[in-house]
Amino acid sequence: MSGPIEVVVGIVVDTKGRYLMAQRPAGKVYEGYWEFPGGKVEPGESCFQALYRELEEELGIQVTQCSPWFSDTFVYPHAHVRLSLFRVTQWQGQPEPFKDGGKR
Protein backbone atom coordinates (compact mmCIF):
# COMPACT_ATOMS: atom_id res chain seq x y z
CA MET A 1 0.00 0.00 0.00
CA SER A 2 1.33 3.45 -0.88
CA GLY A 3 1.47 6.45 1.45
CA PRO A 4 -1.68 7.85 2.98
CA ILE A 5 -4.22 9.97 1.11
CA GLU A 6 -4.37 13.43 2.70
CA VAL A 7 -7.91 14.30 3.83
CA VAL A 8 -9.20 17.41 5.61
CA VAL A 9 -12.28 17.51 7.82
CA GLY A 10 -14.18 20.58 9.01
CA ILE A 11 -15.68 20.38 12.48
CA VAL A 12 -18.18 23.21 11.95
CA VAL A 13 -19.55 24.47 15.28
CA ASP A 14 -21.85 27.46 15.74
CA THR A 15 -22.11 29.92 18.64
CA LYS A 16 -24.73 27.69 20.30
CA GLY A 17 -22.33 24.73 20.34
CA ARG A 18 -24.15 22.83 17.57
CA TYR A 19 -22.10 20.70 15.19
CA LEU A 20 -22.86 20.32 11.49
CA MET A 21 -22.76 16.77 10.14
CA ALA A 22 -23.68 15.25 6.78
CA GLN A 23 -25.04 11.87 5.78
CA ARG A 24 -22.95 10.01 3.21
CA PRO A 25 -24.78 9.71 -0.12
CA ALA A 26 -25.88 6.53 -1.88
CA GLY A 27 -23.18 4.75 -3.83
CA LYS A 28 -20.29 5.91 -1.60
CA VAL A 29 -18.27 3.84 0.85
CA TYR A 30 -20.13 3.76 4.18
CA GLU A 31 -23.35 4.94 2.49
CA GLY A 32 -25.80 6.44 5.00
CA TYR A 33 -23.21 6.98 7.77
CA TRP A 34 -22.95 10.42 9.36
CA GLU A 35 -19.74 12.40 8.95
CA PHE A 36 -18.21 15.84 9.19
CA PRO A 37 -17.74 17.60 5.83
CA GLY A 38 -14.36 17.57 4.07
CA GLY A 39 -12.39 15.79 1.41
CA LYS A 40 -9.08 15.05 -0.26
CA VAL A 41 -6.21 17.51 -0.46
CA GLU A 42 -5.40 18.14 -4.14
CA PRO A 43 -1.79 18.27 -5.43
CA GLY A 44 -0.23 21.66 -4.65
CA GLU A 45 -2.83 22.56 -1.99
CA SER A 46 -2.17 23.13 1.68
CA CYS A 47 -4.55 21.53 4.18
CA PHE A 48 -6.06 24.98 4.87
CA GLN A 49 -6.64 25.60 1.14
CA ALA A 50 -8.27 22.17 0.78
CA LEU A 51 -10.51 22.81 3.78
CA TYR A 52 -11.68 26.17 2.39
CA ARG A 53 -12.33 24.62 -1.05
CA GLU A 54 -14.14 21.55 0.28
CA LEU A 55 -16.47 23.53 2.58
CA GLU A 56 -17.24 25.95 -0.26
CA GLU A 57 -18.02 23.01 -2.59
CA GLU A 58 -19.97 20.91 -0.10
CA LEU A 59 -21.74 23.53 2.02
CA GLY A 60 -21.53 26.78 0.08
CA ILE A 61 -19.79 28.60 2.95
CA GLN A 62 -16.55 30.59 3.06
CA VAL A 63 -14.47 29.78 6.13
CA THR A 64 -13.23 32.92 7.91
CA GLN A 65 -11.87 31.36 11.10
CA CYS A 66 -10.57 27.87 11.77
CA SER A 67 -7.81 26.18 13.73
CA PRO A 68 -6.09 22.79 13.49
CA TRP A 69 -7.51 20.41 16.06
CA PHE A 70 -6.31 16.83 15.49
CA SER A 71 -4.43 14.81 12.91
CA ASP A 72 -3.77 11.08 12.65
CA THR A 73 -3.29 8.30 10.12
CA PHE A 74 -5.80 5.47 9.71
CA VAL A 75 -5.77 2.28 7.64
CA TYR A 76 -9.23 1.22 6.47
CA PRO A 77 -10.03 -1.83 4.32
CA HIS A 78 -10.54 0.47 1.32
CA ALA A 79 -7.91 3.20 1.96
CA HIS A 80 -4.92 4.48 3.93
CA VAL A 81 -5.67 8.09 4.98
CA ARG A 82 -4.20 10.89 7.03
CA LEU A 83 -7.10 12.84 8.53
CA SER A 84 -6.50 16.46 9.52
CA LEU A 85 -9.40 17.86 11.50
CA PHE A 86 -9.99 21.60 11.78
CA ARG A 87 -12.36 23.37 14.16
CA VAL A 88 -14.35 25.88 12.08
CA THR A 89 -15.93 28.58 14.25
CA GLN A 90 -16.66 31.41 11.80
CA TRP A 91 -17.83 31.46 8.20
CA GLN A 92 -19.79 33.51 5.71
CA GLY A 93 -22.92 32.18 4.07
CA GLN A 94 -25.62 29.74 5.10
CA PRO A 95 -24.72 26.04 4.94
CA GLU A 96 -26.70 24.34 2.17
CA PRO A 97 -27.13 20.63 1.32
CA PHE A 98 -24.69 18.77 -0.90
CA LYS A 99 -25.23 19.43 -4.60
CA ASP A 100 -25.80 15.69 -5.13
CA GLY A 101 -28.73 15.61 -2.73
CA GLY A 102 -27.04 14.43 0.48
CA LYS A 103 -28.87 15.20 3.74
CA ARG A 104 -27.67 17.50 6.49
Distance CA 86, CA 41 (A): 13
User: Can you give the pLDDT at residue 99?
Assistant: 58
Identify the H or E element spanning 82: strand 80-92
Residues 40/6, Cβ–Cβ less than 8 Å: yes
The pLDDT of 95-103, averaged and rounded, is 62
User: Can you give the pLDDT at residue 30?
Assistant: 85
User: Can you give the pLDDT at residue 63?
Assistant: 98
Topology classification of domain 5-92: Nucleoside Triphosphate Pyrophosphohydrolase (3.90.79)
Distance CA 29, CA 19 (A): 22
- Residues whose CB is less than 8 angstroms from the CB of residue 6 and which lie 6 or more positions away in sequence, other chains included: 40, 41, 47, 50, 81, 82, 84
User: Can you give the pLDDT at residue 103?
Assistant: 44
Distance CA 4, CA 54 (A): 19
pLDDT tens digit string along 11-47? 999 999 999 998 888 998 889 999 999 999 999 999 9
Domain boundaries, the chain: 5-92
pTM as predicted: 0.85
